[in-house]
Amino acid sequence: MNRIFILFFATGLLVSACQKVIEIPLNTADQTLVVDIILKDGLGNNYGILSKTGSVYQQGDFERIIDGTIKITKEDGTIVYLEHQGDGYYRAMDFEVEPGKWYDLEVQAFDRTITASSYAPIKPKIDSLSCFTVTGSFGIPEGDTLNIISFHAVDNPDEKNYYWAKIFINGTENSGYYWGNDDFINGQYFEAQFFGDLAEKGDTVLVELISVDKANYDYIVGLSNNLNSNNFSAAPANPPTNLIGDAVGYFGAFTSDTMSFIVPL
C-alpha cells in the first residue's frame, strides 16, 4: 500500500506529518465492492477500477470485476461509458473533464448499484519548480546530500481549493500522497516541498498538481485520522466517501497541471 502524507500549506512552506507504510484502514467485513474512479481534464486521462475483497487486510490483490458498468453523466446530460479494458480496468479514450462542471457516476457491479457526484474545480497552475540541496542536516550524515524538490504556484482566490500533489522521478511515481488546502494561502503565492522523496543530480523530475473537491479531500483526511488513532481504540470507521450504496472507495473529477525539469548537476 502507499504511504499517506498529510501536508499543511502555508506561504513559502509545506510542513509534513509523520510518514507510515499503511494498509487502508477499513472495517473487516464480508466481501466488499471497491470502487476507484478518477476523471481528469485531458483527453483519455481517466480510469475506473472495480474490485471486491473479503478482508481488506488479506494478502494479495483485490479480486477484479470484469463485467461491471461505469456510466458518467455530464452536467449537460451527455452520457459517457468507461469501457472495460481488461482485468477490471475501465477507460473512456474520447472523454475529458471540463473545469467548473459537475459529474454524476452510476456503477452496476457485484449485484449492486452505486452512485456519486463530483465537482471538477478550476484548473490549478504550477508557476515553476526548484531544487535546493541540504548537506549534513535533517538527520543526513555529514558529507551526504539531499536534493529537495519544490513547486511554486498561486492559489486561486475564486473558490475553496483542495490539492493533491504528486512527484515522478525518472518516470516512477512517488510512493506517497501529498495533500493540503488553502486555509492559510487563499489567493497567495506559495511554495511547497516534497520532503518524502529523494532526487539525485541529473534526475528528470515531473510534478503534477491536482485540484480535487471537498468530498475527495475528506476521504484522505479520514484515512489519516484512522492511522493516527490509538492501537487499543475501537475498530476504525470506514473513511468518509462520496459513494452512495454498499461500496467503499471514491469517485473524483479532477483538474491538474504538470511541469518537469532536470535536477542540476
Least confident window among 113-117, 182-186, 206-210, 222-226: 222-226
**172 and 91 within one domain:** no
**126 and 17 within one domain:** yes
What one-letter code names the amino acid at 60? Answer: G
**103 and 46 within one domain:** yes
What one-letter code names the amino acid at 223? Answer: L
What one-letter code names the amino acid at 158? Answer: D
**9 and 127 within one domain:** yes
Contacts of 253 (CB under 8 A, 6+ apart): 39, 40, 97, 101, 102, 103, 118, 119, 120, 213
Structural domains of the chain, count: 2
| pLDDT at residue 141 is higher than 70 | no
Q: What is the CATH number of the domain that holds 144?
A: 2.60.40
**244 and 115 within one domain:** yes
The sign one gets for the Cα dihedral 252, 1, 48, 51 is negative
Q: Which grid coordinates belong to 86?
A: 481488461
**111 and 63 within one domain:** yes
pLDDT band at 224 (very low <50, low <70, confident <90, very high): low
Helix, strand, coil fractions of the chain, as percent rounded to 5? 5, 50, 45
pLDDT top residue among 198 and 3 = 198
The string over 146-172, giving b where at least 16 C-beta atoms fall within 10 Å of a residue's C-beta and e elsewhere, is bbbbbbebebbeeeebbbbbbbbbeee
Least confident window among 5-9, 66-70, 87-91, 113-117: 5-9
**117 and 156 within one domain:** no
DSSP string, 143-197: T-EEEEEEEEEE--TTS--EEEEEEEETTEEPSEEEEEESTTTTT-EEEEEEEEE
Supply the pLDDT for residue 219: 87
**131 and 101 within one domain:** no
For residues 143 and 23, give the distance between their C-alpha atoms in angstroms, rounded to a whole number: 35
Q: Is residue 226 part of a domain?
A: no
241 contacts 250 by C-beta, under 8 angstroms? yes
> For residue 193, how many other CB atoms are within 10 A of its CB?
20
The number of angstroms, rounded, from the C-alpha of 199 to the middle of its chain's C-alpha atoms is: 21
Q: Is residue 99 part of a domain?
A: yes
Angle, vertex CA 39, rays to CA 36 and CA 45, nearest 5: 115
Q: Is residue 186 part of a domain?
A: yes
Which candidate, 193, 174, 179, places its Cα nearest to that of 221?
Answer: 179
Q: Is residue 9 part of a domain?
A: yes
**133 and 68 within one domain:** no
**108 and 94 within one domain:** yes
**80 and 41 within one domain:** yes
The half-sphere exposure of 194 on its side-chain side, counting CA atoms within 13 A, is 29
Q: Is residue 182 part of a domain?
A: yes
For residues 57 and 67, give the distance between their C-alpha atoms in angstroms, rounded to a whole number: 25
- pLDDT, the chain, mean: 82
**Domain boundaries, position 56:** 32-121+234-254
For residues 264 and 56, give the distance between their C-alpha atoms in angstroms, rounded to a whole number: 43
Q: Is residue 132 part of a domain?
A: yes
**165 and 49 within one domain:** no
Q: Is residue 136 part of a domain?
A: yes
Q: Is residue 86 part of a domain?
A: yes
Residue-wise pLDDT for 83-124, tens only, equals 999 999 999 999 999 999 999 999 999 999 999 999 999 999
129 contacts 152 by C-beta, under 8 angstroms? yes
